[in-house]
A = this chain, B = another copy of it.
Amino acid sequence: MPERRPFDVLNSSLNNTVIIGMKGGYEFRGVMVAYDVHMNIVLEKAEQLMNGEVKRGVGTVLLRGDSVTFISPS
């Protein structure tokens, strides 16, 4: 196992803006304020994106880890 662990990315992204890919192909962008070991994630000031364009603002949103495909600090 490498010294760096995947969850380090989550920890270092706390309170920063991230893009979250979701099963089904859409994405959320917002400030990550909480996560847990299941990759359940809470974003604030969040927007839902479809094909790279903002579909709507959603404010605070809790994303269920089971539906998350990737997480990228922006």
Residues of chain A at the chain B interface (Cβ within 8 Å): 1-2, 4-11, 14, 19, 22-25, 28, 33-37, 39-42, 46, 52, 56, 58-74
Copies of the protein in its oligomer: 7
B34 pairs with A4, CB closer than 8 A = yes
A45 CB to closest chain B CB (Å) equals 12
Closest residue to A38 on the B side, CB-wise?
B6
A35 pairs with B6, CB closer than 8 A = yes
A36 pairs with B69, CB closer than 8 A = no
Question: Cβ of A24: which chain B residues have Cβ within 8 Å of it?
Answer: 23, 25, 69
B62 pairs with A9, CB closer than 8 A = yes
A2 CB to closest chain B CB (Å) equals 5
